[in-house]
Amino acid sequence: MKRPTIHDVAAAAGVSRGTVSRVLNGDRYVSTAARLATERAIAETGYVVNRNARSLVTQRAGSVVMVLSEPNEKIFEDPNYSTTIRTAIRRLAARDLSLVMMIAGDAGDRDRVLRYVKGGHADGVLLQSTHAGDPLVEALEGLRIPAVSCGAVIGMENVIPFAACDERGGARQMTRYLVEQGRKKIAIITGPMDTPGGIQRLEGFTDELGRRASKKLIEHGDWTRLSGEQAMARLLERSPDLDAVFCASDVMAGGALATLRAAGRRVPDDVAVGGFDDSDVAMSTHPPLTTIRQPLAEIAEETVRILLDLIDGAEQVESVTVPTRLVIRESA
Amino acid sequence: MKRPTIHDVAAAAGVSRGTVSRVLNGDRYVSTAARLATERAIAETGYVVNRNARSLVTQRAGSVVMVLSEPNEKIFEDPNYSTTIRTAIRRLAARDLSLVMMIAGDAGDRDRVLRYVKGGHADGVLLQSTHAGDPLVEALEGLRIPAVSCGAVIGMENVIPFAACDERGGARQMTRYLVEQGRKKIAIITGPMDTPGGIQRLEGFTDELGRRASKKLIEHGDWTRLSGEQAMARLLERSPDLDAVFCASDVMAGGALATLRAAGRRVPDDVAVGGFDDSDVAMSTHPPLTTIRQPLAEIAEETVRILLDLIDGAEQVESVTVPTRLVIRESA
DNA sequence: GGAGTCTCTGTGAACGTTCACAGACTGAAA
DNA sequence: TTTCAGTCTGTGAACGTTCACAGAGACTCC
């Protein structure tokens, strides 16, 4: 029981291979009679085009690869990925492109991705959580394949287009809110300093605080809950009188809350806590987190749109920054 | 600057196409001299095999498709997917198979998946969160393509092999624990009753409770936090004197906790709360959730292993059930 | 020395498309 | 009538592999 080929369809429709191909690809020059006959034959035979054969001659892959470059396994729990993946699948499917997932944690992984792309098996690359200095990015750049990042790649902002939320602006929103609430000694727990979320959320924080910002009130985390707990402990030890902390992610804020509770601090009475992301943990903590909402679906949509533009041959594309929104709950 | 083909490699190595192909595919009959020359030529030319050409003749796709059949968009937040996807990518990559992601939410989506598979573009299918009666499953069954589900497909346990945690046993563990803690009136918030997690966790609950189980103490949720909140409210209204609630997922438990707090119930003093999954929210709630840990990575590994066995031509494969573990924190 | 078995190699024919080209037919304009 | 443009169709040649086959050489065994 072999799969029907374009020949079978052609025979069933009483036309030639070429005509079937033209119908398949929406070519203008095909008579209505031929088109109808072909369409019926396709339906009757249950014909499905063989993408391999097509790709072989067109030199187009018909797929896009999403590369998850997260060296730290733990962080993959990040619920944000799900939204991005889902959105990407949908948008690409509308263009009959499939989404292939790859991981680029270590050198071996990166090599695999590179070979895949070099083999011409992807029409574009969607970068996800790429850290500064990732060798993969330069390698991809050399291959001249359309590549877009979901969130900026630090140091590569002008070479890899991206869509991202206004990290800096969002951080300013939160910081300003904490100030407005009368908080005097505001600390921050940042993300890794080789990611846009790490760097730019800190920038927004210091931007807003001006010379009131103090090095003593800055601690670094790695996005994980545990790192949030530990950073909070360090902050409390160094500055027991702090009255607010802005955590660069909700997950880290969850950790900070636990440390604060263990230290007997009431939230928000003694210490206000602000998060970032508005992921689902923000609703589950006690008290629920006041946080910065980043429209992940929209960011994913834009990322894919830019990639499609590039695949379609756009010379120059603009990176996109979408605004964030302050979501006030109970922690601040 | 065209990509080098097998011909270029053959020319560079001073051998024939056939020999290069044999080296590529690890054929036995090739001399060391030829092998060495070929390998050098491959390295020098930067040759990467064209999978399309290969698939065209071998009739193997070189990829596996993971189908996310979740009609309800909301639920996709489930952090479990990330682990499964990541594990699958890794295991498949070791066999040089790539992972294509597809969604099968509505009929159009399902059609796309079916066309993809019918086109011979996947060597196997990984089913994820498939609900009972999903028409896609039957359709796939008809195509005779290797398919394995991550978690059982209700009603299809004997036709679609799967790997899953011991849902029923896990639920019994939790229920027994609550009983041992002296709880007298134990309620349950189940998942959707067309999923194994919905059905079997309830079964474990009633198994353990025996005739102490009461219909009045059963409420249904849909895995979302909101449904947990609402189900808890209904339970409290009907049975204000309940002293424990087993939630079939941590996320729903998070919702239940919020309702309990709003109702002035102390946890665990007045009401003990048990979850299921041991996902990251379990650590972020207040109090942290006592829950049932399901080894997601292990389940994903097994799912992929079974699929690979099927792809390798295994006639009969055994579904796998892995044990769960009670994780005691503070909510019960 | 011949037969038989292994090892190794090259070659032609697929696999299922698309694309460029050539040719046939139509209708309108010169 | 001829010419030209426009529409429609079929065909041969690619695309880059693998696979089966045939044949060459080396070695062993009688």
Q: Between A48, A83, A286, which is nearest B285 by CB?
A: A286
pLDDT at A315 over 90: no
Residues of B in contact with A85 (CB under 8 A): 85, 101
- What pLDDT score was predicted for residue B79? 63
User: Cα A180 vs. chain centroid, distance in angstroms?
Assistant: 32
Residues of A in contact with B288 (CB under 8 A): 258
- What pLDDT score was predicted for residue A210? 87
**Pair A270, A241: CB distance under 8 Å:** no
Which residues of chain B have a pLDDT value below 70?
1, 71-79
Q: Which two tokens stand for residue B250?
A: 């941590």
Q: Which CATH superfamily is domain A167-293 in?
A: Response regulator (3.40.50.2300)
Residues of B in contact with A93 (CB under 8 A): 102-103, 109, 112
CA of A21 to C1' of C20 (A): 14
Q: Nearest C-alpha of chain B: how many angstroms from A166?
A: 23
- What pLDDT score was predicted for residue B166? 97
Mean pLDDT of A222-232: 93
Q: Between B52, B78, B83, which is nearest A56 by CB?
A: B52
Q: Nearest C-alpha of chain B: how many angstroms from A1?
A: 11
User: B52 vs A55: CB contact, 8 Å cut-off?
Assistant: yes
Between A107-118 and A135-143, two packed helices, what is the crossing angle to 10 degrees? Answer: 10
Q: Which two tokens stand for residue A144?
A: 């001249």
Residues of A in contact with B48 (CB under 8 A): 115, 118-120
Closest CA to A229 of A207, A267, A200, A258: A258
CA of A10 to C1' of C16 (A): 13
Domain(s) labelled CATH 3.40.50.2300 in chain A stretch across 63-165+297-322, 167-293
- What pLDDT score was predicted for residue A201? 97
pLDDT at A216 over 60: yes
- What pLDDT score was predicted for residue B277? 93
- What pLDDT score was predicted for residue B27? 86
pLDDT tens digit sequence for A154-182: 999 999 999 999 999 999 999 999 999 99
Strand D and B56 CB separated by under 7 Å? yes
Strand-strand pairing, B147-150 and B186-190: unpaired
Rounded CA separation A281/B225 (Å): 10
pLDDT tens digit sequence for A286-304: 899 999 999 999 999 999 9
- What pLDDT score was predicted for residue A74? 57
Please measure the distance between the N-terminal and C-terminal CA atoms of chain A and give it in whole angstroms: 66
Q: Which CATH superfamily is domain B63-165+297-322 in?
A: Response regulator (3.40.50.2300)
Please report where in the chains the tokens 């609900």 appear, as a residue.
B131
- What pLDDT score was predicted for residue B315? 85
Q: Nearest C-alpha of chain A: how many angstroms from B92?
A: 10
- What pLDDT score was predicted for residue B283? 87
- What pLDDT score was predicted for residue B252? 94
Q: Which stretches does DSSP call E strand in chain A? A: 63-68, 98-103, 124-128, 147-150, 162-165, 186-190, 218-220, 244-247, 272-274, 291-293, 320-322, 325-327
Mean pLDDT of A145-160: 94
Residues of A in contact with B83 (CB under 8 A): 76-77
Rounded CA separation B261/B278 (Å): 21
| Stated pTM of the model | 0.92
- What pLDDT score was predicted for residue B112? 92
**Average pLDDT score, chain A:** 92
Give the least confident one: A188-197, A242-251, A280-289.
Answer: A280-289
Question: Most A CBs within 10 Å: which of B50, B52, B329, as the mutation test of the A interface?
Answer: B52
- In chain A, positions 103-162 with C-beta closer than 7 Å to nucleic chain D are none
Q: Which two tokens stand for residue B229?
A: 């909140």
Q: Nearest C-alpha of chain B: how many angstroms from A232?
A: 15
pLDDT tens digit sequence for A72-95: 665 555 667 788 888 999 999 999
User: A121 vs B261: CB contact, 8 Å cut-off?
Assistant: no
Mean pLDDT of A195-221: 93
- What pLDDT score was predicted for residue A1? 58
Q: List the CATH code of the domain at A6-49.
A: 1.10.260.40
Domain(s) labelled CATH 1.10.260.40 in chain B stretch across 6-49
Q: Looking at strand D, which nucleotides approach a protein CB closer than 7 A?
A: 7-12, 14-21
